[in-house]
Amino acid sequence: DAGVIQSPRHEVTEMGQEVTLRCKPISGHDYLFWYRQTMMRGLELLIYFNNNVPIDDSGMPEDRFSAKMPNASFSTLKIQPSEPRDSAVYFCASSFSRGTNSPLHFGNGTRLTVT
């Protein structure tokens, strides 16, 4: 198993542009999480899904952020329009519920730079 796969690994874009981050969770996992990592705030939970349904999006900073999970094997996080303060590493993670909190499996992250 290749684990959680995120693309792209690096993204550099100009302010105002649309950015789409992609994630393929581990097959069979029914939870999917999007986190943002910055030096100031550490790991912030943006949104998470259970069986493709968004459960909690209270961490999504603004309406500029949106996330979808059209099927069990794919999710996107979109920022439109992007701003320099969105620069961070964005992680996707997945897990499998089995009666207790199972470990999260993280992707390698997407390092986003907005100039």
Partner 1 sequence: AQRVTQPEKLLSVFKGAPVELKCNYSYSGSPELFWYVQYSRQRLQLLLRHISRESIKGFTADLNKGETSFHLKKPFAQEEDSAMYYCALSGRPGGTSYGKLTFGQGTILTVHP
3-state secondary structure of 84: helix
Which residues sit at the interface with partner 1, rule CB under 8 A? 3, 31, 33, 35, 41-45, 48, 50, 55-56, 91, 93, 95, 97, 99-101, 103-104, 106-108
Task: Return the half-sphere exposure (C-beta side, CA atoms, 13 A cut-off) of residue 28.
Answer: 6
Q: Which residue type sits at 43? A: L
Q: Is the peptide bond before 54 cis (omega within 30 degrees of 0)?
A: no
Could you tell me the smallest distance in angstroms from the CB atom of residue 104 to partner 1? 6
Q: How many beta carbons lie within 10 A of that of residue 67, not counting itself?
A: 20
Nearer to partner 1, 65 or 91 (CB): 91
Nearer to partner 1, 19 or 47 (CB): 47
Nearer to partner 1, 15 or 43 (CB): 43
Could you tell me the smallest distance in angstroms from the CB atom of residue 22 to partner 1? 17
